[in-house]
Amino acid sequence: MRLFTKALATLASVTLLVGIGISPAQAATDYNIYESNGTRHARAWGSIDWQSRSKFNIPRAHLRDLACDDQPVFWYIDVDNRWTGSERFHHGGCNSEASWDDVHASDIEGIRRIVIYVCRDTFIPECDSQAFSNPNFS
């Protein structure tokens, strides 16, 4: 009986969300990415709000410099291997943190996926990344 009640409650929630124009696919996607080359140098984290087939918003993006090596850290977003957003640098040093509000993008062709890169700024930047698919794109 408990399983049946949970199923009905879930169905009612989805019906209510769709009825008021909010798609369940608009849920936020959390991210937590480390740049490491044997040692963790930088961490980027936040939450991606997929607003539609063609746009997303990151309400607050965070970047922390985890190494005490006098090297700046940065992050950026690649959209569908078509274009990249601005590189956002942090020069605060050892265990310091920076954040950016309302990082967003839209594309009339739609956004299938984004890749978030977090990097340590060396002669040849050291980066790690993670890809995220837009649940509104079919």
Q: Is residue 16 part of a domain?
A: no
pLDDT tens digits along 81-110 = 999 999 999 999 999 999 999 999 999 999
Give yes or no for residue 19 having a pLDDT over 70: no
Q: Is residue 36 part of a domain?
A: yes
At 40, the pLDDT band (50, 70, 90 cuts) reads very high
Which structural domain range is residue 32 located in? 25-133
Of 42 and 25, more confident: 42
Q: Is residue 6 part of a domain?
A: no
Q: Which two tokens stand for residue 33?
A: 């990415």
pTM for the whole thing?
0.80
Q: Is residue 20 part of a domain?
A: no
Q: What is the DSSP string of 32-46?
A: EEEEESSSEEEEEEE
Give yes or no for residue 21 having a pLDDT over 70: no
The residue count of the chain comes to 138
Question: Looking at residue 31, which CATH number applies to its domain?
Answer: 2.60.40
Q: Name the domain count of the chain.
A: 1
Q: Which two tokens stand for residue 129?
A: 């990344």
Average the pLDDT over 73-80 and give the result. Answer: 97
Which residue type occupies 63? L
Q: Is residue 94 part of a domain?
A: yes
Q: Is residue 13 part of a domain?
A: no
Give yes or no for residue 22 having a pLDDT over 90: no
Q: Is residue 3 part of a domain?
A: no
- pLDDT-wise least confident of 2-11, 54-63, 69-78: 2-11
DSSP 3: H
At 20, the pLDDT band (50, 70, 90 cuts) reads very low
Dihedral over Cα of 111, 116, 122, 126: its sign? negative
